[in-house]
Amino acid sequence: MKFCQITTFCDSYLLEFYKNNKYFTNTSYEEQISSLLKDGFGASHMIAPYLSQLGYDSRLIIANCQPAQFQWAKTNGFSFNQQHWFYEIVRNQIETFKPDILYVLDPTAFDSKFIRSLNWQPSFIFGWRAASIPAGIDWTEFDVILSNSPACQKQAVKIGAKSVEHFFPGFPDFVADAVKDNQKEWDVVFSGQLTYEHTRRIKLLNEVAKAPLGISGEYSIAYFVAGNQQSLPAGIEMHNHGPRWGMDMYRALKSGKIVLNVHIDIAQKDNKAGNMRLFETTGVGSFLLTDYLNGIEEYFKPCEEIETFQDQNELIEKIYYYLDHPKEREAIAKRGQERCLRDYSMTKKAEEFDAIIQKHLRLKSKSVPLHAKEIKKSEGEDPYDIAYKWGWNQPQLRELVYLCYKTPNFAENARRFFLSAEFHEAVRILTELGKKPDKSIRVLD
């Protein structure tokens, strides 16, 4: 089954990456994507490589990565309007690859208007969102919006999404290995964004910056902040070392004895915990001190795997307490990392994602049956693709098609299918159709 994930990376990160790796602009598209993945930016969301391990034929598109996108267009002989390259190249990539499932990590940039512009229509459209949704966004073409934000889930349905599913990011094991030997340099660290959507975060970080000036004693602070530097409070700016991206961001998190997390305002409004920093911090083995919101226990146990605070006073109090109790702090950090790597690895998240896909395959197969006569051959279309589309849309044959078509390991899938309940169901269907299987069917081992 073909799976295509579309994402966008922070423009500032991409500029910095190619500035530090100028030679990458002359490498192949595949080499550029591979190098960006190894650098770890947005790694908690990059599900496509892990679905490949489950038998999917997966592709990842970083839509705003101009050097990689231009290289793809050049390699594939695709000419485009320079002013509209962002959408034109992605559109051509999708129409060339012809994915069965399209997963959009930026469904505000690629909403239903873009989906309707495609000549190739994937069988399923998935999207992810856990932040505010701009006015005018249309998700009527989306089968499923994934989110761990109740507000986003509710709004997604209002603007047209056919369904929503609870889902949240994971943590890639390779990151933990890469930073395991990095030493602690700072007492308190924060790495992330400060925007108009982070008003409580800004207030609390500023209070943390002012606390060492009081009678309770000093502690060292390092903020690695992305945002409008000129609008930052003086207390934050004096400790700001500038943004960190990719593996540098994970190293920054590893460098803190205590790493702070304050959820985005929309999560405060929902009173619902869950952001990437929970996994990024615990995953590298650092002690996480996060604001308490409902549902935090779904991810980590407070006082055992992470620590929480309710207000400004408790935040400052716990900073001093855990700086004075390093053994207790490190024991919590160790348990937090063990939980993260055990329960929230990207391999495990890929299995959860696959389960969501399979659920919606079954639901859609019951509600949208297609018959062979409804499949029209487009000019130049491979008969194999026609047969695949027809079988895919038969409710009683979908499991067979999933296991036996367009997979990189046909023999293994055939062996699994022979041992499955679906095989016996297929035999029953063939018998009903007057095509009872004969002895030519063999177990592939």
Please give the full DSSP string across 144-183, using - where no structure is assigned: EEEES-HHHHHHHHHTT-S-EEE----B-HHHHHHHTTPP
- What distance in Å separates the CA atoms of residue 255 and residue 271, rounded to the nearest whole number? 29
CA pair distance 111, 106, nearest whole angstrom: 8
Decide: 126 and 147 in contact? Cβ < 8 Å. no
Tokens of 25: 């602009």
Residue 108, classed as helix, strand or coil, is coil
230 pLDDT band (50/70/90 cuts)? Answer: confident
Please tell me the predicted confidence (pLDDT) of residue 273: 87
> What is the separation of C-alpha 233 from the centre of its chain, rounded to a whole number of angstroms?
31
Please give the share of the chain, as a percent, with pLDDT higher than 70.
81
**Cα angle value 45/50/56 (rounded, 5°):** 120
Structure tokens at 86: 């962002």
Q: How confident is the model at residue 399 (pLDDT cuts 50, 70, 90)?
A: low
pLDDT score, position 370: 44
| Torsions phi, psi for 180 (to 5 deg) | -60, -25
Tens of pLDDT, residue by residue over 35-92, are 999 999 999 999 999 999 999 999 999 999 999 999 999 999 999 999 999 999 999 9
* pLDDT of amino acid 372: 38
* The length of the chain, given as a count of residues: 445
**Residue among 122, 59, 63 at smallest CA distance from 88:** 63
Query: Is 180 exposed, middle or buried, given 0-12, 13-18 or 19+ CB atoms closer than 10 A?
Result: exposed
Mapping DSSP to helix (H, G, I), strand (E, B) and coil, where does residue 123 land? coil
The residue behind tokens 């299918």 is 417
Question: What pLDDT, on a 0 to 100 scale, did the predictor assign at position 427?
Answer: 66
- Per residue in 134-178, pLDDT tens? 999 999 999 999 999 999 999 999 999 999 999 998 999 999 999
pLDDT tier, 217 (very low <50, low <70, confident <90, very high otherwise): confident
What are φ and ψ of residue 146, in 5° steps?
Answer: -90, 135
Q: Is the model more confident about 412 or about 135?
A: 135
Nearest to 191 by CA among 201, 182, 199: 201
Across the chain, mean pLDDT equals: 88
The helix (H) or strand (E) run that includes residue 364 is helix 346-367
**pLDDT tens-digit map of 100-116:** 999 999 999 999 999 99
Choice between 398 and 186, residue whose per-residue pLDDT is larger: 186
pLDDT at 362: 85
Query: How sure is the predictor about 374, in pLDDT bands with cuts at 50, 70 and 90?
Result: very low
What lies within 8 Å, CB to CB, of 224 at 6+ separation is 189, 190, 191, 192, 240, 241, 242, 243, 244, 249, 252
407-434 residues labelled b (16+ CB within 10 A) or e (exposed): beeeeebbeebbeeebbeebeeeeeeee
How far is Cα 253 from Cα 166, in angstroms, rounded to an integer?
27
Query: Given phi > 0 = left and psi -120 to 50 = alpha, else beta, which region is 240?
Result: beta
Alpha helices in 325-345, H assignment, sequence order: 326-343
Structure letter (DSSP) for residue 428: H
149 neighbors 130 (Cβ within 8 angstroms): yes
User: For 119, phi and psi rounded to 5 degrees?
Assistant: -75, -30
164 residue type, one letter: V
Asked if the model's pLDDT at residue 274 lies above 90, the reply is no
Q: What is the dihedral of CA 93, 98, 103, 107, to 10 degrees?
A: 60
Confidence of residue 435 (pLDDT cuts 50, 70, 90): low
Read off the pLDDT band of 366 (50, 70, 90): low
Given a contact cutoff of 8 angstroms between Cβ atoms, the answer to whether 259 and 222 are in contact is no
pLDDT on residue 212: 87
Asked if 247 and 266 count as a contact pair (C-beta separation under 8 A), the reply is no
Report, at the CATH architecture level, how domain 2-166 is classified: 3-Layer(aba) Sandwich (3.40)
Q: Given pLDDT bands bounded at 50, 70 and 90, which one contains residue 418? A: low
pLDDT of residue 443: 42
What CATH number does the domain located at 173-344 have? 3.40.50.2000
pLDDT of residue 333: 98
Looking at the chain, the whole-number percentage of residues with pLDDT higher than 90 is 73
Q: Three-class SS of residue 55?
A: coil
Q: What is the pLDDT of residues 257-269, one digit of tens each?
A: 999 999 988 888 7
Joined together, the tokens standing for residue 247 give 């593996």
Residue 68 contacts residue 32 (beta carbons within 8 Å): yes
Domain positions in the chain are: 2-166, 173-344
Alpha-carbon distances, residue 59 vs 33, 34, 75, 167, 294 (angstroms): 10, 11, 16, 21, 36
Does residue 445 register a pLDDT over 50?
A: no
Instruction: Give the pLDDT of residue 122.
Output: 95
